[in-house]
Amino acid sequence: MRGGMGKGIHFSKLYTFSCFRSKFEDEHGQLGQRGYSRIVFCNDPDNPEAVQLKYRGNYVSTTKYTALNFIPKSLFEQFRRVANLYFLVVACVSFSPLAPYTAVSVLAPLLMVIGATMAKEGVEDWRRRKQDIEANNRKVEVYGKNHVFNETRWKNLRVGDLVKIYKDEYFPADLLLLSSSYEDGICYVETMNLDGETNLKLKHALDETASLRDVRSFQNFKSTIKCEDPNEHLYSFVGTLYYGGQHHPLSLQQILLRDSKLRNTDYIYGVVVFTGHDTKVMQNATDPPSKRSRIERRMDKIIYILFSTLILISLTGSMFFGVDTKNDIRGGELKRWYLRPDKTTVFFDPKRASLAAFFHFLTGLMLYGYLIPISLYVSIEVVKVLQSIFINQDRDMYYEETDKPARARTSDLNEELGQVDTILSDKTGTLTCNSMEFVKCSIAGVAYGRGMTEVERALAKRKRSRPHEVTDSSSDLPECNDHVVDSGKPVKGFNFRDERVTNGNWVNEPHSDLIQKFFRVLAICHTAIPDVRKESGEISYEAESPDEAAFVIAARELGFEFFERTQTSISLHELDHESGRKVNRSYTLLHVLEFSSARKRMSVIVKNAENQLLLLCKGADSVMFERLSKDGRLFLAKTMDHLNKYAEAGLRTLVVAYRELSEQEYKSWEEEFLPAKTSVSAARDALIDAACDKIERDLILLGVTAVEDKLQKGVPECIDKLSKAGIKIWVLTGDKMETAINIGHACSLLTKGMKQIVITLDSPDISDLEKQGDKEAIQKASRESIAKQIGEAKAQIIARKESSVTFGLIIDGMSLDFALTKSLESSFLEVAVNCASVICCRSSPKQKARVTKLVKVGTGKTTLAIGDGANDVGMLQEADIGVGISGVEGMQAVMSSDFAIAQFRFLERLLLVHGHWCYRRITMMICYFFYKNITFGFTLFWFEAHASFSGQPAYNDWYMSFYNVFFTSLPVIALGVFDQDVSARLCLKHPLLYQEGVQNILFTWHRILSWMLNGVISSMIIFFFITNSIVNQAFRRDGHLVDYEVLGVTMYTCVVWAVNCQMALSINYFTWIQHFFIWGSIAFWYTFLVIYGALPLKVSTTAYQVFVEACAPSPFYWLATLLVVVSTLLPYFAYRSFQTRFKPMYHDIIQRRRSEGSEAEVSAELPVRVKEKIDHLKERLKHRES
């Protein structure tokens, strides 16, 4: 109950006379001062004073760029990346004579890369702009000078305008509610867009303005509002309305926020208070914290390494160059006379050799710039976007019932999914469905309800010897849906089956009067709002929490139909237990004593038709039992027994009780309560609590409700798989410890053989202290107790480290508070990390975020948080990866998540399959990228060494600039998008494979550096094999010799072949796509060479006819290519062969087994599955067509 109710309760309180807490109440005094200086002239925006204030208009723009600043701003964003900046500098310098190649050939790829990214930004921004335009041009009715309401556009609204909003329209700005179609000036608001909560909230106009319901009455309406300045606090508002010579304090109850929607109310009148960017929702619009993956952070380091290498080899080059240049003139004599060192620019001047060397250093930086892969960032970005598309497309993560596919909201974290070490999960709505079902109750000591919960089934299953799993899960399915079979017409939120009570049979039960009272409490004591559908007469409820809805629905199903609520009354259709007919009964609502997490109960005080005063109360057992009167404890023992059973069965329980009040008693209490409620001091909450406490006494016990929050389908199997993959799972829940433990068992988080460590403050001595009320003593004792318990746990773990016993840690919220203090933090973490699973019960949203941070920072490993509600947002944002469940609890969690899935069980596939693949792909891709650029870059360097380091590139300019763009990029992208080491099925079958990512063994420095070394070796083989085999002698029968042009083409051919074949060797998955890209790239090189060589000499320069005339007819050229390519690949191939056979990695083993057929794969099993799916797909297509 608590978790569910707590969620919805943030700011809306149903009634103005309810305990609305505004901590800013005290701040009314500050009006007019700094931060509280806003003045609004209602219905008088043309007032000269108002004009002078120059408040902003209602035009909003959420775009990142404008037409004017798009180019400079997006360019600036682009060049914040070091690599891009480097290439920009290179491009600029390439216009100077320093450049070893033409400027265009550097600029072209840079422009392409930058252009692609900018285009992406532009398109995204254009979409935002279209949304803005749509919003700014929506119509709204404004009260004009001609004293009627005229339509105008949203963007033309001004502060002080009087507007009329109709049902189901959005509020164009933050408004002050003046009056509504209801007489008492209430209206209902849906705040889905603000906080993601789907329930309706009630707003209430000041009584003084509620009468302004006629258009004519606005003719003379003039008033002033003084209020706070624009701020981002959604849940507070401070202001005063000066109207009719008096001032009235305003609170959030009167404020309608932009982007929320008017519901259930025909129209309202309001005054614009905040416009445009001043509105609270716009003030809240901040970018979520940006997350970067570990791989990318390491990649930056590698880039730095490459930069250092670049500088180092440029330095080496420039030193040699300096020496060579200096020697060109010795003793006034020209040495290399053919270079005319006597008549030269500074760049080659022997007299200024050191300066020349410096300039040459710059040239070197440009020339060896090919070590830095220019297209790496852009390729990774493209790959990640494509990966996300595949994640979104995955049919196995598509939830048909709600039509929700998985959604990667950011593509930056794909590979991080493959490295998750700890999952921190919410329980309600994440592990469970969060569709509460009323399943059982105990009334007057008699237990009703025959359904069996999933937890009970799990308990039963644990007792039985485990049968074969497959049969188990198949038999589960019909069981899950058994209530459908039974009752014929399933009612959402109601799964109560007991013929003694249903269909009005309860009148025949022994305590039928108590049963009647019990359900009456359920039907009256709540804050739900009925929604009667006109056509069918069916009633649905808007409740703050699913629990509450379940109660009201249960009451309805059993004959206490709540159908109307006004400010002061609640009306029911009741089944009269004497006549057996339905009668209308109305209850006058006097007070609602709100639920709060401290009070753990809520009550209503009503007067029934017989003028009896009743206090109806429901709440947690811990507070309720002690409030029972002596006569009210009649069934206490039996009820408690039932309650414990329910808790064990994983049900959420609430105790229901009531008492009758005498008129006098009520009056005297009210005298005390009203001042408390209206008081404006800091102690207000305490006063109210104390007052409530006084009346909520001497209750008479009616019974206990039990609501089931069903486990989602496949959760136990999923958790089982994840823990087999070595992922630690922490559950952070608001539930009671018993419930949490039972859920833990049900979803196989806690297993039979597991040793449970419980850390709690629920010990007798602490509660003794609590009774004494000495806060400091409690603090001290608690801390000591926790420290002791943690110490013991540590000792236990150390003692059994060698044995195979695993531990499960359970800690409650109070203890967690102490465990998270500085002094205990590290030891707590140490204990927790050594436990296979951890359950934190009764934890608050803030604690959840703190625990997440502790794990993230403490272990330094990747954490994943998964949750569904607004209370999980902190946790989701804090964790390395936030996964939102797009379930029933609104969209808040999804909005702040990085990935959204519809069901918890999809997490298995998201992590084990997509995570693993993406991790593998990205790491492979980065390693390969460095390899291919080093291979290429170092051939340039070796050539330099043979060209007296003069800075002459070995290849034609365009070969070089197309290297990263055309000849090698597409296969890498194919690798990054499509490669699979093992199939999805095997990923799931061998969850241990996931550890490759967790331990990051595919991206260790050793592996990265090995790839780089491989690149250097390849470049050496390419250069030295070619030069040695070709040196001096003719390479054709007709006696022609190899010159600069032919050498360049030959070497380049070898490079293209080598890196592409290396790719073919390194990938494990060849579809036509890979074949197409890899062999296509090589073919494209030859095509390019032919076409480029056929262009006029002016364009093709050194490539002119070189392939067709010189290379292609020479057998030597082809033989040399074959030799070099095979030789560059052999070292890697040999290494992989030996490693696969003698020191295999896990994926090698799986691949090997698959190929040996011991996995009984592809041939038999898969096609059947695929075929089924295809048939299914076809059917759906047919449906769509027809």
Partner 1 sequence: MDAVAMYQFTQQSLPACKPVLTPAWVTTTFFLVGALFIPIGLVSLHASHSVVEIVDRYDSECVPDLFKSNKVVYIKDMSIHKNCSRHLKVHKHMKAPIFIYYQLDNYYQNHRRYVKSRSDQQLLHGLQHNDTSSCTPEESSNGLPIVPCGLIAWSLFNDTYSFSRGTHKLRVNRKNIAWKSDRNHKFGKQVYPFNFQNGTLIGGGKLDPNIPLSDQEDLIVWMRTAALPSFRKLYGRIEEDLNVDDVVVVNLLNNYNTYSFGGTKKLVLSTSSWLGGRNNFLGMAYTSVGFSSILVAFVFLLLHVRNPRPYGDTSCISWNRKSISS
Active site members: 426
CB of 655 to partner 1, least distance (A): 38
Residues 719, 748: contact at Cβ < 8 Å?
A: yes
Q: Residues 392-421 vs partner 1: string with x where CB under 8 A?
A: -xxxx-------------------------
Q: Using CB under 8 A, which of the segments 498-506, 625-633, 755-763, 1096-1104 binds partner 1?
A: 1096-1104
Is residue 1083 packed enough to be buried (19+ CB in 10 Å), middle (13-18) or exposed (0-12)? Answer: exposed
Q: Using CB under 8 A, which of the segments 377-385, 388-396, 462-470, 535-543 binds partner 1?
A: 388-396
* Residue number with CB closer to partner 1 (682 or 1181): 1181
One-letter identity of residue 195? D
CB of 348 to partner 1, least distance (A): 5
Establish if 1047 lies at the interface with partner 1 (CB under 8 A): yes
Establish if 305 lies at the interface with partner 1 (CB under 8 A): no
∠ at Cα 933 (323, 309), nearest 5°? 45
| Own/partner pairs, 576-579, CB within 8 angstroms, 24+ separation | 577/506, 577/507, 577/512, 577/513, 577/516
Residues 1068, 1074: contact at Cβ < 8 Å?
A: no
Establish if 984 lies at the interface with partner 1 (CB under 8 A): yes
* Residue number with CB closer to partner 1 (391 or 436): 391
Map the footprint of partner 1 across residues 723-762, applying CB under 8 A.
723-724, 726, 751
Map the footprint of partner 1 across residues 991-1010, applying CB under 8 A.
992, 995, 999, 1001
* Residue number with CB closer to partner 1 (483 or 1154): 1154
Rounded Cα gap, residues 1094 and 1104, in angstroms? 6
| Beta strand ranges found along 691-823 (DSSP E) | 700-711, 728-732, 755-759, 807-812
Establish if 156 lies at the interface with partner 1 (CB under 8 A): no
Q: Using CB under 8 A, which of the segments 135-143, 530-538, 622-630, 718-726 binds partner 1?
A: 718-726
Contacting partner 1 (CB under 8 A), which of 1029, 1079, 1084, 1112? 1029
* Residue number with CB closer to partner 1 (333 or 631): 333
Residue 346 corresponds to which tokens in the numbers above?
A: 């500074």
Contacting partner 1 (CB under 8 A), which of 1027, 1076, 1080, 1084? 1027
Q: Which residues pair with 582 in a beta bridge?
A: 575
Q: Using CB under 8 A, which of the segments 52-60, 73-81, 635-643, 1145-1153 binds partner 1?
A: 1145-1153
Residues 647, 737: contact at Cβ < 8 Å?
A: no
CB of 241 to partner 1, least distance (A): 58
Contacting partner 1 (CB under 8 A), which of 52, 1032, 1163, 1186? 1032
Annotated binding site for Mg(2+): 426, 428, 868, 872
Query: DSSP class of residue 915?
Result: I
Nearest to 759 by CA among 782, 735, 732: 782
Q: Using CB under 8 A, which of the segments 240-248, 867-875, 890-898, 1131-1139 binds partner 1?
A: 1131-1139
∠ at Cα 261 (256, 266), nearest 5°? 90
Q: Using CB under 8 A, which of the segments 152-160, 609-617, 860-868, 1126-1134 binds partner 1?
A: 1126-1134
Establish if 466 lies at the interface with partner 1 (CB under 8 A): no
Annotated binding site for ATP: 426-428, 548, 595, 618, 652, 733-735, 842, 848, 871-872
CB of 361 to partner 1, least distance (A): 14
CA distances 286 to 56, 282, 521, Å, are: 19, 8, 44
Query: DSSP class of residue 1017?
Result: H
* Residue number with CB closer to partner 1 (482 or 1179): 1179
Contacting partner 1 (CB under 8 A), which of 95, 768, 1178, 1179? 1178
Query: DSSP class of residue 264?
Result: S
Establish if 95 lies at the interface with partner 1 (CB under 8 A): no
Establish if 563 lies at the interface with partner 1 (CB under 8 A): no
Residues 131, 986: contact at Cβ < 8 Å?
A: no
Residue 1103 corresponds to which tokens in the numbers above?
A: 């490539």
Contacting partner 1 (CB under 8 A), which of 23, 130, 340, 800? 340
Establish if 1035 lies at the interface with partner 1 (CB under 8 A): yes
Rounded Cα gap, residues 1074 and 1072, in angstroms? 6
Establish if 102 lies at the interface with partner 1 (CB under 8 A): no
Rounded Cα gap, residues 205 and 237, in angstroms? 14
Residue with tokens 């059982």: 440
CA atoms within 13 A on the CB side of 1177: 8
Contacting partner 1 (CB under 8 A), which of 53, 305, 339, 590? 339
Establish if 924 lies at the interface with partner 1 (CB under 8 A): no
∠ at Cα 14 (11, 20), nearest 5°? 55
Establish if 1123 lies at the interface with partner 1 (CB under 8 A): yes
Annotated binding site: 426-428, 548, 595, 618, 652, 733-735, 842, 848, 868, 871-872
Q: Using CB under 8 A, which of the segments 119-127, 414-422, 702-710, 1121-1129 binds partner 1?
A: 1121-1129
Q: At 512, which helix (H) or strand (E)?
A: helix 512-524
Contacting partner 1 (CB under 8 A), which of 1040, 1076, 1079, 1113? 1040
| Beta strand ranges found along 813-887 (DSSP E) | 837-841, 862-867, 881-885
CB of 713 to partner 1, least distance (A): 21
Map the footprint of partner 1 across residues 1049-1088, applying CB under 8 A.
1068-1073
Establish if 610 lies at the interface with partner 1 (CB under 8 A): no
Q: At 246, which helix (H) or strand (E)?
A: strand 246-250
Rounded Cα gap, residues 666 and 330, in angstroms? 114
* Residue number with CB closer to partner 1 (472 or 479): 472
Residue 1128 corresponds to which tokens in the numbers above?
A: 């560059």
Contacting partner 1 (CB under 8 A), which of 115, 777, 1155, 1179? 1155
- CA-based torsion, 528, 8, 645, 463: positive or negative: positive
Establish if 1011 lies at the interface with partner 1 (CB under 8 A): no
Q: Using CB under 8 A, which of the segments 144-152, 261-269, 329-337, 901-909 binds partner 1?
A: 329-337
Establish if 948 lies at the interface with partner 1 (CB under 8 A): yes
CB of 861 to partner 1, least distance (A): 14
Q: What is the size of the binding site for partner 1 (CB under 8 A)?
A: 114
Establish if 1177 lies at the interface with partner 1 (CB under 8 A): yes
Coil, helix or strand at residue 568: coil
Nearest to 302 by CA among 769, 933, 1057, 762: 933
Q: Which residues pair with 571 in a beta bridge?
A: 564, 586
Residues 719, 728: contact at Cβ < 8 Å?
A: no
Edge to edge, the sheet with strand 613-619 lists 446-448, 432-443, 700-711, 651-661, 613-619, 601-607, 582-593, 569-575, 560-565
CB of 952 to partner 1, least distance (A): 4
Is residue 755 packed enough to be buried (19+ CB in 10 Å), middle (13-18) or exposed (0-12)? Answer: middle
Establish if 951 lies at the interface with partner 1 (CB under 8 A): yes
Rounded Cα gap, residues 355 and 326, in angstroms? 11
Establish if 334 lies at the interface with partner 1 (CB under 8 A): yes
CA end-to-end distance (rounded Å), the chain: 46
Contacting partner 1 (CB under 8 A), which of 609, 1013, 1041, 1091? 1041
Q: Residues 344-373 vs partner 1: string with x where CB under 8 A?
A: xx-xx-------------------------
Establish if 1036 lies at the interface with partner 1 (CB under 8 A): yes
